[in-house]
Protein backbone atom coordinates (compact mmCIF):
# COMPACT_ATOMS: atom_id res chain seq x y z
CA UNK A 1 0.00 0.00 0.00
CA UNK A 2 1.30 3.45 -0.93
CA UNK A 3 2.19 5.50 2.11
CA UNK A 4 2.63 9.25 2.40
CA UNK A 5 3.99 11.30 5.29
CA UNK A 6 1.48 12.63 7.73
CA UNK A 7 2.32 16.31 8.19
CA UNK A 8 1.12 18.32 11.11
CA UNK A 9 0.06 21.12 8.76
CA UNK A 10 -1.12 21.56 5.22
CA UNK A 11 1.16 22.20 2.22
CA UNK A 12 3.18 25.38 2.48
CA UNK A 13 3.66 27.81 0.84
CA UNK A 14 1.70 27.08 -2.30
CA UNK A 15 -1.88 26.91 -1.05
CA UNK A 16 -3.79 24.96 -3.70
CA UNK A 17 -0.52 23.79 -5.32
CA UNK A 18 -0.17 20.35 -3.73
CA UNK A 19 3.49 19.25 -3.37
CA UNK A 20 4.88 15.76 -3.96
CA UNK A 21 4.32 13.33 -1.12
CA UNK A 22 0.95 14.78 -0.19
CA UNK A 23 -1.22 12.71 -2.55
CA UNK A 24 -1.31 8.93 -2.75
CA UNK A 25 -0.49 7.04 -5.94
CA UNK A 26 -4.16 6.26 -6.78
CA UNK A 27 -5.21 9.90 -6.28
CA UNK A 28 -2.24 11.15 -8.32
CA UNK A 29 -3.00 8.69 -11.13
CA UNK A 30 -6.67 9.65 -11.12
CA UNK A 31 -5.65 13.32 -11.28
CA UNK A 32 -3.49 12.74 -14.34
CA UNK A 33 -6.23 10.73 -16.01
CA UNK A 34 -8.94 13.33 -15.43
CA UNK A 35 -6.63 16.21 -16.37
CA UNK A 36 -5.52 14.44 -19.56
CA UNK A 37 -9.08 13.75 -20.69
CA UNK A 38 -10.26 17.27 -19.85
CA UNK A 39 -7.34 18.97 -21.61
CA UNK A 40 -7.64 16.76 -24.67
CA UNK A 41 -11.29 17.74 -24.94
CA UNK A 42 -10.44 21.40 -24.33
CA UNK A 43 -7.79 21.40 -27.08
CA UNK A 44 -10.24 19.82 -29.50
CA UNK A 45 -12.98 22.31 -28.69
CA UNK A 46 -10.62 25.28 -28.82
CA UNK A 47 -9.32 24.13 -32.21
CA UNK A 48 -12.86 23.84 -33.57
CA UNK A 49 -13.79 27.30 -32.31
CA UNK A 50 -10.41 28.94 -32.92
CA UNK A 51 -10.45 32.72 -33.18
CA UNK A 52 -7.44 34.73 -34.33
CA UNK A 53 -8.01 37.40 -31.69
CA UNK A 54 -7.53 34.88 -28.88
CA UNK A 55 -3.86 34.18 -29.64
CA UNK A 56 -2.33 37.37 -28.15
CA UNK A 57 -5.02 37.50 -25.46
CA UNK A 58 -4.15 33.98 -24.31
CA UNK A 59 -0.52 35.05 -23.90
CA UNK A 60 -1.46 38.14 -21.91
CA UNK A 61 -3.85 36.20 -19.69
CA UNK A 62 -1.25 33.50 -19.13
CA UNK A 63 1.30 36.06 -17.95
CA UNK A 64 -1.27 37.77 -15.68
CA UNK A 65 -2.45 34.52 -14.11
CA UNK A 66 1.13 33.31 -13.66
CA UNK A 67 2.03 36.46 -11.72
CA UNK A 68 -1.19 36.36 -9.69
CA UNK A 69 -0.72 32.72 -8.66
CA UNK A 70 2.88 33.30 -7.61
CA UNK A 71 1.72 35.66 -4.87
CA UNK A 72 0.84 33.52 -1.84
CA UNK A 73 -0.79 34.73 1.35
CA UNK A 74 0.46 32.87 4.48
CA UNK A 75 -2.12 31.80 7.01
CA UNK A 76 -1.86 30.40 10.52
CA UNK A 77 -1.20 26.69 10.86
CA UNK A 78 1.15 26.42 7.89
CA UNK A 79 -1.51 27.00 5.25
CA UNK A 80 -1.51 29.62 2.55
CA UNK A 81 -3.60 30.72 -0.40
CA UNK A 82 -3.36 32.59 -3.65
CA UNK A 83 -5.49 33.92 -6.46
CA UNK A 84 -6.63 31.67 -9.31
CA UNK A 85 -7.72 33.81 -12.27
CA UNK A 86 -10.08 31.19 -13.68
CA UNK A 87 -13.13 33.44 -13.86
CA UNK A 88 -11.39 36.29 -15.68
CA UNK A 89 -9.77 33.90 -18.15
CA UNK A 90 -13.07 32.12 -18.77
CA UNK A 91 -14.98 35.35 -19.39
CA UNK A 92 -12.38 36.69 -21.82
CA UNK A 93 -11.27 33.48 -23.56
CA UNK A 94 -14.11 31.04 -23.14
CA UNK A 95 -13.84 27.85 -21.05
CA UNK A 96 -11.65 25.73 -23.35
CA UNK A 97 -8.94 28.28 -24.08
CA UNK A 98 -9.00 29.32 -20.41
CA UNK A 99 -8.52 25.71 -19.32
CA UNK A 100 -5.47 25.37 -21.59
CA UNK A 101 -3.93 28.64 -20.39
CA UNK A 102 -4.28 27.84 -16.68
CA UNK A 103 -3.01 24.28 -17.19
CA UNK A 104 0.10 25.68 -18.91
CA UNK A 105 0.64 28.12 -16.05
CA UNK A 106 0.34 25.37 -13.44
CA UNK A 107 2.70 23.16 -15.44
CA UNK A 108 5.38 25.84 -15.78
CA UNK A 109 5.15 26.64 -12.07
CA UNK A 110 5.70 22.96 -11.21
CA UNK A 111 8.52 22.33 -13.71
CA UNK A 112 10.47 25.58 -13.34
CA UNK A 113 9.65 26.95 -9.90
CA UNK A 114 8.82 23.73 -8.03
CA UNK A 115 5.48 25.27 -7.07
CA UNK A 116 3.59 22.01 -6.64
CA UNK A 117 5.04 18.57 -7.32
CA UNK A 118 5.23 16.57 -10.55
CA UNK A 119 3.42 13.62 -8.98
CA UNK A 120 0.64 15.97 -7.88
CA UNK A 121 0.60 17.95 -11.15
CA UNK A 122 -2.48 16.12 -12.40
CA UNK A 123 -4.49 16.94 -9.29
CA UNK A 124 -3.32 20.55 -9.35
CA UNK A 125 -4.40 20.90 -12.98
CA UNK A 126 -7.76 19.33 -12.16
CA UNK A 127 -8.34 21.66 -9.21
CA UNK A 128 -7.30 24.93 -10.82
CA UNK A 129 -7.60 24.52 -14.58
CA UNK A 130 -10.54 22.12 -14.86
CA UNK A 131 -12.68 22.66 -11.76
CA UNK A 132 -11.90 26.39 -11.49
CA UNK A 133 -12.79 27.06 -15.12
CA UNK A 134 -15.90 24.87 -15.27
CA UNK A 135 -17.31 26.38 -12.08
CA UNK A 136 -16.60 29.88 -13.41
CA UNK A 137 -18.25 29.04 -16.72
CA UNK A 138 -21.34 27.58 -15.06
CA UNK A 139 -21.83 30.39 -12.52
CA UNK A 140 -21.11 33.20 -14.99
CA UNK A 141 -23.36 31.58 -17.59
CA UNK A 142 -26.30 31.05 -15.24
CA UNK A 143 -26.16 34.43 -13.48
CA UNK A 144 -25.20 36.21 -16.70
CA UNK A 145 -28.22 34.75 -18.48
CA UNK A 146 -30.47 36.23 -15.80
CA UNK A 147 -28.77 39.57 -16.32
CA UNK A 148 -30.08 39.90 -19.87
CA UNK A 149 -27.08 41.99 -20.93
CA UNK A 150 -27.37 44.27 -17.88
CA UNK A 151 -23.76 45.27 -17.32
CA UNK A 152 -24.05 45.74 -13.55
CA UNK A 153 -25.60 42.32 -13.05
CA UNK A 154 -22.92 40.89 -15.34
CA UNK A 155 -20.30 42.25 -12.95
CA UNK A 156 -22.12 40.52 -10.09
CA UNK A 157 -22.00 37.31 -12.12
CA UNK A 158 -18.25 37.75 -12.62
CA UNK A 159 -17.70 38.32 -8.89
CA UNK A 160 -19.75 35.25 -7.99
CA UNK A 161 -17.89 33.13 -10.54
CA UNK A 162 -14.50 34.24 -9.23
CA UNK A 163 -15.39 33.65 -5.58
CA UNK A 164 -16.99 30.26 -6.08
CA UNK A 165 -14.29 29.00 -8.45
CA UNK A 166 -11.47 29.55 -5.97
CA UNK A 167 -13.51 28.15 -3.08
CA UNK A 168 -14.44 25.01 -5.04
CA UNK A 169 -10.84 24.42 -6.14
CA UNK A 170 -9.71 24.62 -2.50
CA UNK A 171 -12.43 22.18 -1.46
CA UNK A 172 -11.29 19.70 -4.13
CA UNK A 173 -7.70 20.00 -2.89
CA UNK A 174 -8.86 19.31 0.67
CA UNK A 175 -10.76 16.22 -0.42
CA UNK A 176 -7.74 14.90 -2.34
CA UNK A 177 -5.51 15.35 0.71
CA UNK A 178 -8.04 13.54 2.86
CA UNK A 179 -8.41 10.68 0.35
CA UNK A 180 -4.61 10.33 0.34
CA UNK A 181 -4.49 10.05 4.13
CA UNK A 182 -2.34 13.17 4.34
CA UNK A 183 -4.63 15.36 6.39
CA UNK A 184 -8.06 14.58 7.89
CA UNK A 185 -10.91 16.27 6.09
CA UNK A 186 -12.07 17.96 9.31
CA UNK A 187 -8.69 19.74 9.44
CA UNK A 188 -7.93 20.30 5.75
CA UNK A 189 -11.38 21.49 4.68
CA UNK A 190 -11.91 24.29 7.23
CA UNK A 191 -8.34 25.54 6.81
CA UNK A 192 -8.29 25.52 3.01
CA UNK A 193 -11.90 26.58 2.45
CA UNK A 194 -11.77 29.27 5.12
CA UNK A 195 -8.76 31.11 3.77
CA UNK A 196 -9.75 30.73 0.14
CA UNK A 197 -13.26 32.00 0.87
CA UNK A 198 -11.58 35.21 2.03
CA UNK A 199 -9.11 35.29 -0.85
CA UNK A 200 -12.05 34.68 -3.18
CA UNK A 201 -13.51 38.02 -2.13
CA UNK A 202 -10.31 39.71 -3.24
CA UNK A 203 -10.26 37.74 -6.47
CA UNK A 204 -13.84 38.73 -7.15
CA UNK A 205 -13.02 42.41 -6.72
CA UNK A 206 -9.94 42.12 -8.93
CA UNK A 207 -11.97 40.32 -11.60
CA UNK A 208 -14.67 42.99 -11.61
CA UNK A 209 -12.07 45.79 -11.64
CA UNK A 210 -10.28 44.15 -14.57
CA UNK A 211 -13.53 43.79 -16.49
CA UNK A 212 -14.46 47.41 -15.81
CA UNK A 213 -11.04 48.56 -17.02
CA UNK A 214 -11.26 46.43 -20.16
CA UNK A 215 -14.76 47.78 -20.80
CA UNK A 216 -13.31 51.27 -21.00
CA UNK A 217 -10.12 50.44 -22.92
CA UNK A 218 -10.95 47.37 -25.06
CA UNK A 219 -14.66 46.72 -24.88
CA UNK A 220 -14.49 44.56 -28.00
CA UNK A 221 -12.85 41.83 -25.90
CA UNK A 222 -15.87 41.42 -23.63
CA UNK A 223 -18.80 39.24 -24.69
CA UNK A 224 -21.52 41.46 -23.21
CA UNK A 225 -20.18 44.63 -24.87
CA UNK A 226 -19.84 42.83 -28.19
CA UNK A 227 -23.54 41.98 -27.93
CA UNK A 228 -24.38 45.62 -27.24
CA UNK A 229 -22.32 46.75 -30.22
CA UNK A 230 -24.07 44.22 -32.47
CA UNK A 231 -27.49 45.43 -31.39
CA UNK A 232 -26.50 49.07 -32.00
CA UNK A 233 -25.16 48.21 -35.44
CA UNK A 234 -28.43 46.58 -36.39
Q: Model confidence over 190-205: pLDDT tens digits?
A: 888 888 888 888 889 9
Q: What is the structure's pLDDT at 51? A: 66
Q: Is the peptide bond before 13 cis (omega within 30 degrees of 0)?
A: yes
- Tell me the mean pLDDT in the region 101-116: 84
Q: What is the pLDDT of residues 164-193, one digit of tens each?
A: 998 999 899 889 988 988 888 888 888 888
Q: 106-115, 124-133, 219-228: lowest mean pLDDT where? A: 219-228
Q: Residue 3 — pLDDT band, cuts 50, 70, 90?
A: very low
Is residue 186 exposed (0-12), middle (13-18) or buried (19+ Cβ within 10 Å)? Answer: exposed
How many Cα atoms occupy the beta-carbon half-sphere of 24 within 13 Å? Answer: 15
For the chain, which domains are there? 25-228 (1.10.1760.20)
Q: Is the peptide bond before 28 cis (omega within 30 degrees of 0)?
A: no
Q: 21-25, 75-79, 82-86, 138-142: lowest mean pLDDT where? A: 75-79
How many Cα atoms occupy the beta-carbon half-sphere of 174 within 13 Å? Answer: 22
Amino acid sequence: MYAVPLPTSLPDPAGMHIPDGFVSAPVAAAGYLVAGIALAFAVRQADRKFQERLVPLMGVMGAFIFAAQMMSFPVAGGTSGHMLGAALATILLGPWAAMIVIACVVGVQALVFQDGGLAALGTNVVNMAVVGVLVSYAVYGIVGALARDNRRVTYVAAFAAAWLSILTAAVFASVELAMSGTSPLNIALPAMAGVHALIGLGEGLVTVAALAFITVTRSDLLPFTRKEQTVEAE
